[in-house]
C-alpha cells in the first residue's frame, strides 16, 4: 500500500470498527483517515488538529468514529469522525494533558 502524505507520519492505526479505514497522525500537526480500498480517492478527511506535531492517534474499539489525538502542543483532543463538515471531523473535547495531573482520569 502506498500513498502520499504532506508530512512525516508519526503514528497510524487501523480502525477496529471499520477495518478498511486507517487513521494517521503527522509531524505537521495534522491527522487523516484513508479508505484502504480506494487509495486513488484520497483522504476520507485530512485536518490540522494541533499547533505542533501530532504524536499519536488512537481509534476507539467501542464508539464508532471516536478518535483521540495527542500532540507536542500539550493537548489531547477527542474527535467524532462520523460527523465530517468541510472535510474535518467534529471536535468533541480539547484538554491540556499533564502527565502529573491527578485529575487526568476525570477527563473521561
Q: Which pLDDT does position 40 carry in this prediction? A: 66
Whole-Å CA distances, 14 to 49, 56, 85: 19, 13, 22
Cell 504532506 appears where? 6
Per the model's pLDDT, the better-predicted residue between 7 and 61 turns out to be 61
Beta bridge partners, 58, equal 68
Per residue in 35-77, pLDDT (tens digit) is 888 766 667 888 898 999 999 999 999 999 999 999 999 999 9
The residue ranges of every structural domain in the chain are 9-97
Model-level pTM? 0.80
Residue 79, classified by CB atoms within 10 Å of its CB into exposed (0-12), middle (13-18) or buried (19+), is buried
- CATH topology for 9-97 is Thrombin, subunit H (2.40.10)
Amino acid at each position: 500500500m502506498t500513498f502520499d502524505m504532506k508530512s512525516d507520519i508519526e503514528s497510524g492505526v487501523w480502525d477496529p470498527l471499520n477495518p478498511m479505514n486507517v487513521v494517521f497522525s503527522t509531524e505537521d500537526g495534522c491527522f487523516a483517515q484513508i479508505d484502504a480500498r480506494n487509495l486513488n480517492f484520497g483522504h476520507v478527511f485530512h485536518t490540522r488538529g494541533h499547533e505542533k506535531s501530532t504524536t499519536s492517534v488512537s481509534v476507539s474499539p467501542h464508539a464508532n468514529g471516536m478518535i483521540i489525538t495527542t500532540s507536542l502542543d500539550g493537548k489531547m483532543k477527542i474527535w467524532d469522525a462520523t460527523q465530517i463538515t468541510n472535510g474535518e471531523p467534529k471536535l468533541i473535547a480539547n484538554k491540556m494533558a499533564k502527565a502529573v495531573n491527578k485529575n487526568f482520569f476525570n477527563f473521561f
